[in-house]
Amino acid sequence: MIITANQKPQTENPAPGRPREHCGIFGIYGHPEAARLTYFGLYALQHRGQESCGIVTGDGCRVRQHRGMGLVPEVFSQPLLEQLPGHLAIGHVRYSTTGSTMLINAQPFVVQHRGHMLAIGHNGTLTNAREIRSRLEEAGSIFQSTMDTEIIVHLMARHQGDLLESLIAALKEVRGSYSLVLLTADQVIAARDPRGFRPLSLGQVNGSWVVASETCALDLVQADFWRDVEPGEIIVLDAHGLHSHKPFEPVAPNFCIFEYIYFARPDSHLFGQSVYLVRKRLGAALAREHPLKADLVMPFPDSGTYAALGYAAASGLPFEMAVIRNHYVGRTFIQPSQVMRDFSVKVKLNPVREILKGKRVVVVEDSIIRGTTTRSRIKALRDAGAKEVSLLVSCPPHRFPCFYGIDFSSKGELIASQQEVNQIRDFLGLDYLGYLSTEAMVEATHLDNQDFCLACFSGNYPVPLESDFSKLCFEEDICAPGQPEGIPATCERK
């Protein structure tokens, strides 16, 4: 195996105050430029994770990998891709929902498995990870990382049988959400948990099989969408073609409805529906539930744009881009030496006074998590002369944490778990605040209520949780980046 890696300083959240994406995965079998196509696939999936990324390739004999901290074009270069030959590859972009931000937690994660190299990339969160890890550590297992994903390979190592049998045995022990890609020197395997929380699509390009978290990645590598990997399905891609296995008891699906509302790219198809069209229908449903007298409808770029288009079309109100985004702002910038009012809001988003002055404005947003960023943005609209500001949200209030792969894992992070709607309205400085009902949200997807996970709205968790589950639950003995060895990273522990 050949390993290369680069360690960059941790970068700040590019969208502070917004829920952060979890991870994106990509896999390809049977293409002479597997690493290059994986690079493009990860490029298309960058919105799902910006902390780290990696590509692992196989050529039938050897496994090679490169992982690094940062965005895909920061980590990979043309010469680096040339050092990753092979006709099969998997890749991963990561934002950590378990385990902290450091290179040892970058994926795909690569281990020796019965004398062969095995790589794994994971999108999701295992909800019984702590209990399994404690049990494995008591039995002598030594873990390299703080990720829940590593548990899967330790469980595989404890089972006899071939790779597929070991994987099935391991997946029967874990609970929670997972879409996976695995790679050996001559095989790619894709798997999706029985409830199908996270998306995973299958396509083909020039006879090569491709799997990706979202269809926008298939589009970029010019692969034709074939079908979704089904909940509970394991797909093996090798020299004999594609083999589908369904080893789990069928259960009702629980697709993450928040993928439609916020996470997925609008040009993707998820769970059989166009994300773009679902978002427009969410906006139209808002117009039916909250018909407001106003002069214009607007989004804050780039949240709520498609729902705002839907609201404008259904209500007949004009749609305006009354706030302009600076597309060239990096993830960090030098702060001004003197106090400049609302600097960090305005450096990214600047209101257009001529559009807003004296107007009654309806802003459409996809979610309110903490509320602090929204409050600053509303104030900026008022400062620009808006006469009335109403805010409509294209989902119900987020009152409960997510434990299935999204980054709001405690109630304290959610304003709606602490305050009633009228209190949130006053905190945000609004004239009116309205949320979409659960019924209208589900109806806009054109799927059934029973198909979804709605836990962050309802508190009904479809998969049981460990009582003390937390993102950084394995962190006791791990050093944070920049800390001397041996000093526990207690400052990172929740």
Give the binding site for ligand SF4 (CB under 6 A): 197, 256-258, 402, 404, 406, 453-456
**Min CB(307)–ligand SF4 separation in Å:** 17
Residue 480 DSSP symbol: P
What are the phi and psi torsion angles at 72 (to 5°)?
-55, -50
Catalytic residue chosen out of the listed positions 23, 216, 256, 402: 23
Residue at 316: amino acid letter? G
**Min CB(406)–ligand SF4 separation in Å:** 4
Residue 143 DSSP symbol: -
**Min CB(98)–ligand SF4 separation in Å:** 14
Cβ distance to ligand SF4 smaller for residue 219 or 365: 365
Q: Which residue has the tokens 């229908």?
A: 281
Which residues lie below 8 Å from residue 79, measured CB to CB, with a gap of 6+? none
Closest by Cα among 109, 113, 248, 93 to 175: 248
- Give the separation between CA 401 and CA 406, rounded to whole angstroms: 9
**Min CB(121)–ligand SF4 separation in Å:** 19
CA torsion sign, 212 to 213 to 214 to 217? negative
53 among known catalytic residues: no
Q: Can you tell me whether residue 149 is helix, strand or coil? A: helix
Q: Which two tokens stand for residue 101?
A: 């931000």
Cβ distance to ligand SF4 smaller for residue 21 or 219: 21
Any idea how long the chain is?
494
Cβ distance to ligand SF4 smaller for residue 49 or 351: 49
Q: Can you count the helices (H) and strands (E) in the chain?
A: 17, 24
Cβ distance to ligand SF4 smaller for residue 35 or 473: 473
Query: What is the DSSP secondary-structure string of 418-461?
Result: HS-HHHHHHHHT-SEEEE--HHHHHHHHTS-GGGEE-HHHH---
Cβ distance to ligand SF4 smaller for residue 359 or 398: 398
**Min CB(494)–ligand SF4 separation in Å:** 18
> What is the set of active-site residues?
23
